[in-house]
């Protein structure tokens, strides 16, 4: 005889057993308190079996505006743990005053953005040449920033702050050219600062964490931290962990790095992903872009590093292909502001996306152009790309000094609000 499964709710004899019942209770509570309105929705209720309560999210369009907690044994609302009714009321008015997300989506859907850009490789500094791209013309950014070398003699940056400021400028421009709600994916890893003599120890700079802070300040929403895991032997060359391996003293332990981050963000406002699927006027594209079986299911991706004698720091084509498949549609435009020898551009072309690759070095540009030309001969669809040399384009002095000042102040601990004050009223002693 088939075994009959008894749910925890039944075993414990809860009075409130199902998600539907929890939703109904939430709605009646809101009706009784004169808060309910047609636009409101109860999200998916969750049961907490440890503390035996149901949590019902209250949703207005895309906004979470509070939650109600009900005791699973008694069905009573737990006012202490639930969101305050006055607060829910206030949030409803605020959301409605700003126009509902549905109304905003409708507006947006009418103008579904299809980028006019064609394939291009641009020579020049990203922070400057990105200014030549139209606003909202890119569907996905995937990049790996230049390495920060802590040793001044090898670094093109005066200081780490200087490096972060350069990254901030590129990130800001990327946000401008990215279509609202689309993805920005960045591959980065911590930098090892080797010791300079025997009495010093090596240290590390957590570059990805600082980039994260900048991305948030610049108007991106954090989505995922994917770990690119390399095979075991890959990090040994860094020298980290060797001393410990020989001496085995506690506190000398250092983990050998075999991972890098692939950090995933979206440009705010994060309009519903559904808009990009449902409102695309070419539904064929949606079908062609479906991701086949065998996709990565967790945030740990095992990929071997790639090497190319023409560039010291490329990322593997497999990594670029996964990111492009998961975060863009066929025919989308993929931008790599630090294009190198064009790994992102080649992966984009292979997957029937368009590309825009920006790079300062002539040598790397040449490698990318030659690979793309060869690739073009093997692609089914007709394939063409332009090359623009914008190397002579000059930086905008006023812009640099204002940005530099803002950057310095942000790092000194001023908040966005204080910076706004400073912009309006000038700088006074803090
Ligand atoms: C980590 S590499 C990227 C390699 C690339 N992912 C590939 O697979 O070929 C960073 C690249 O950024 C380039 N670069 C550095 N500063 C730049 C800037 N301001 N604008 C454009 N490219 C820059 C460097 O020359 C280098 O090729």
Could you give all domains of the chain from N- to C-terminal order, each with its CATH number? 8-99 (3.10.450), 115-389 (3.40.50.150)
Q: Is 156 in the pocket of ligand 1 (CB under 6 A)?
A: no
Rounded CA separation 354/120 (Å): 8
**Closest atom of ligand 1 to CA, residue 342:** 9
Name the helix (H) or strand (E) containing 363: helix 362-378
Rounded CA separation 384/376 (Å): 7
Q: Is 311 in the pocket of ligand 1 (CB under 6 A)?
A: yes
Strands 191-193 and 386-389 come out as: unpaired
**Closest atom of ligand 1 to CA, residue 361:** 25
Helices and strands, number each (H, E), in the chain: 15, 15
pLDDT in tens, the chain (430 residues): 445 566 777 888 899 989 999 999 999 999 999 889 888 999 989 998 888 999 999 998 777 888 999 999 999 999 988 988 888 888 888 788 776 555 665 555 556 889 999 899 999 999 999 999 999 999 999 999 999 987 777 778 888 988 999 999 999 999 999 999 999 999 999 998 877 777 777 788 999 999 999 999 999 999 999 999 999 777 777 777 788 888 999 998 988 889 999 999 999 988 899 999 999 989 999 999 999 999 999 999 999 999 999 999 999 999 999 999 999 999 999 999 999 999 999 999 999 999 999 999 999 999 999 999 998 777 766 678 899 999 988 887 766 677 777 777 777 777 767 777 776 666 554 4
Burial of 381 (0-12, 13-18, 19+ CB in 10 A): exposed
The Å distance, Cα 326 to ligand 1 centre, comes to 23
The Å distance, Cα 143 to ligand 1 centre, comes to 9
The Å distance, Cα 68 to ligand 1 centre, comes to 50
Strands 120-123 and 386-389 come out as: parallel
The Å distance, Cα 180 to ligand 1 centre, comes to 25
148 contacts 193 by C-beta, under 8 angstroms: no
**Closest atom of ligand 1 to CA, residue 315:** 8
CA-nearest residue for atom 3, ligand 1, is 340
Give which of 123, 348, 344, 315 is closest to 230, Cα–Cα: 315
**Closest atom of ligand 1 to CA, residue 338:** 12
CA-nearest residue for atom 1, ligand 1, is 146
Name the helix (H) or strand (E) containing 301: strand 300-302
The Å distance, Cα 342 to ligand 1 centre, comes to 9
301 contacts 325 by C-beta, under 8 angstroms: no
Radius of gyration of the chain (CA): 26
Strands 203-205 and 191-193 come out as: antiparallel
378 contacts 397 by C-beta, under 8 angstroms: no
pLDDT value at residue 106:
54
294 phi/psi in degrees, rounded to 5: 90, 10
The Å distance, Cα 423 to ligand 1 centre, comes to 33
Range list of β-strands (E), 144-214: 178-188, 191-193, 203-205
Give which of 260, 232, 298, 307 is closest to 144, Cα–Cα: 260
Rounded CA separation 413/407 (Å): 10
Give which of 64, 2, 116 is closest to 354, Cα–Cα: 116
| pTM metric for this prediction | 0.73
Q: Is 316 in the pocket of ligand 1 (CB under 6 A)?
A: no
Intra-chain end-to-end CA distance of the chain, in Å: 77
């Amino acid at each position: 005889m088939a075994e009959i499964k008894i749910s925890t709710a039944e075993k414990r004899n809860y009075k409130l057993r199902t998600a539907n019942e929890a939703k109904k209770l939430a709605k009646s509570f809101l009706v009784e308190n004169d808060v309910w309105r047609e636009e409101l929705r109860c999200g998916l209720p969750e049961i907490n079996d440890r503390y035996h309560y149901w949590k019902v999210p209250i949703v207005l369009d895309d906004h979470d505006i509070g939650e109600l907690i009900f005791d699973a044994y008694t069905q009573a609302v737990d006012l202490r743990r639930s969101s305050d009714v006055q607060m829910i009321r206030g949030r409803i008015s605020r959301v409605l005053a700003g126009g509902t997300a549905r109304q905003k989506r409708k507006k947006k859907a009418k103008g579904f953005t299809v980028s006019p850009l064609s394939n291009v490789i641009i020579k020049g500094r990203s922070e400057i040449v990105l200014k030549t791209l139209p606003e909202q013309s890119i569907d996905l950014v995937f990049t790996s920033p230049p390495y920060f070398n802590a040793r001044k003699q090898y670094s093109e940056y005066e200081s780490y702050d200087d490096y972060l400021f350069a990254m901030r400028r590129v990130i800001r421009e990327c946000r401008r050219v990215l279509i609202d709600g689309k993805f920005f994916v960045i591959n980065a890893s911590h930098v090892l600062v080797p010791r300079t003599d025997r009495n010093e120890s090596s240290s590390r700079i957590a570059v990805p964490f600082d980039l994260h802070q900048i991305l948030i300040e610049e108007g991106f929403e954090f989505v995922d931290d994917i770990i690119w895991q390399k095979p075991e032997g890959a990090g040994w060359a860094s020298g980290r962990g060797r001393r410990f391996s020989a001496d085995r003293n506690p506190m000398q332990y250092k983990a050998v790095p075999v991972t890098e981050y692939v950090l995933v963000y979206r440009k705010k406002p994060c309009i519903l992903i559904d808009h990009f699927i449902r409102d695309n006027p070419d539904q064929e594209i949606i079908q062609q872009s479906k991701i086949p079986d065998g996709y990565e299911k967790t945030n740990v991706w095992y990929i071997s590093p790639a090497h190319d004698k023409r560039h010291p720091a490329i990322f593997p084509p497999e990594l670029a292909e996964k990111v492009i498949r998961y975060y863009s549609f066929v025919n989308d435009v993929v931008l790599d502001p630090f294009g190198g020898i064009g790994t992102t551009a080649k992966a984009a072309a292979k997957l029937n996306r368009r590309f825009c690759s920006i790079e300062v070095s002539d040598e790397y540009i040449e490698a990318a152009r030659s690979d793309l030309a060869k690739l073009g001969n093997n692609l089914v669809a007709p394939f063409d790309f332009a090359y623009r040399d914008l190397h002579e384009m000059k930086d905008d002095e006023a812009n640099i000094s204002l940005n530099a000042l803002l950057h310095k102040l942000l790092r000194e601990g001023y908040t966005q609000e204080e910076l706004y004050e400073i912009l309006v009223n000038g700088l006074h002693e803090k």
